[in-house]
Amino acid sequence: MKKIIILLLAMLTTSVSMQAGDPTEKQIKKAVKAKKKDFKKQKWELYGTAQTMDMVLYNYYKELYAPGSNIKEVTGLGAESENKTILHQKAIMDAARTYSQNTCSQVEVKAKNALSSISKEELDDFRQTFTSNVSKQIGGQLKECFSVIRASKTSPGYYEMQTFFLLDERNALNALKEAMRATYIERKFKQEMLEPLMDAVSVPGMN
C-alpha cells in the first residue's frame, strides 16, 4: 500500500511539473478570443484549410507562446487580385520582404559606427543588397501556419489575403549571417567592416 501511495504521489508531482512548463491555457484562450473577434470585425475568413478557426488559432498561439522559445510572428499581405493562388504567393513574398526590411533597420542601428564610414549611395546599395539577400535566405525558415482572406473593399471581384508565419529566430541566425556575408562580398566593403556587420546579426530576437 505504501509503495502505491508513493507511486501515485510521484505521478502527481510529474503531472504538475509538466503542466507548470506548458504555455498557460488562459493566455492562449485570451489570444484566440481576441484574434477571432478582430477577424470577424474585419471580415477575414480562413483560407485553404478544413480546420476550424478555433483549432487553427489555438495551435498557432500554443507554439508562439511556448516557454523558453524564441518564436516570432511574421505576417504577409497579398492584395488586389482575383486569383487566390497569386494572392497567396504575394503574401508569402511580402512576409519575407517585411522581415528583411525590419532586420535591415535593426542592423543599421547596431552597426551605425561601421556604416557611417560609407557614402549615402553606398548605404542605399547596402540596404537594397542586404534586404534582397535576407529575403532569399529567410524563406526556408518561415513556417507557414494559416491564411485568411476577404473581399477587397475597393475593387469588386478582387480579394486580399493575410498569411501568418512563425519564425524561430535562433534557427534564423545562420540565414542572416549568410545574407550579411554575401552582402559584404557583393558590396566589396573593407575588411574592417566585416566584424561589426556580422556582430549586428548575431543576436537572437533582434527584431
In this model, does residue 10 exceed pLDDT 70?
A: no
Decide if pLDDT at 48 tops 60. yes
Q: The pTM is what? A: 0.81
User: DSSP code of 51?
Assistant: S
Share of the chain above pLDDT 70, in %: 86
- Spatial CA neighbour of 200 closest among 99, 95, 110: 110
Q: Is pLDDT at 126 greater than 70 in this prediction?
A: yes
Whether residue 21 has pLDDT greater than 60? no
Domains in the chain: ranges and CATH? 24-199 (3.10.129)
Among residues 124, 139, 149, 120, the alpha carbon closest in space to that of 48 is found at: 149
Structural contact between residues 205 and 155, judged by C-beta atoms closer than 8 angstroms: no
Looking at residue 16, its pLDDT comes to 40
Average pLDDT, the chain: 86
Q: How far apart are CA 171 and CA 91, in angstroms?
A: 22
Q: Residue 137 and residue 191: Cα distance in Å, rounded?
A: 23
**Are the beta carbons of 100 and 58 closer than 8 angstroms?**
no
In angstroms, how far is the first alpha carbon of the chain from the final one?
Answer: 56
